[in-house]
Amino acid sequence: MPDLHVIATMVSREGKADALRDALEAATRAFRQEDGCLSYALLEDQTRPGRFMTFERWRDRAALDAHMQSPAMADLAPRIPELLAEALKQDVLDARLLL
């Protein structure tokens, strides 16, 4: 089974970009240490500050499922709704051709 790729997009509420950035940076450090995390990048849009994307690569569905139940996710998840201007968008993808 090929590894899974996840792209998540989050847009901060007005005045909440710094708080969201701080929360995501702390969580990303923890996520990178999780079993099954092959890579995890947090990026911020240069033209739209406060718009963040994650590019994640997980060993398999079990690793991704465990990530969603991890202590770091349990800490982050309740804070996200107050920081976001719109619903989090998450795409889970299978790689077809990579360089």
How far apart are the two ends of the chain, measured CA to CA in Å? Answer: 18
- Residue numbers of the chain with a pLDDT score lower than 70: 1, 98-99
pLDDT, tens digit, 9 for 90 and up, residues 35-63: 999 999 999 999 999 999 999 999 999 99
Burial letters for 62-88: b for 16+ Cβ neighbours within 10 Å, e otherwise? ebbebbeebebbeebeeebeebbeeee
- The CATH architecture that domain 4-94 belongs to is 2-Layer Sandwich (3.30)
pTM here is: 0.90
DSSP string, 10-42: EEBPTT-HHHHHHHHHHHHHHHTTSTTEEEEEE
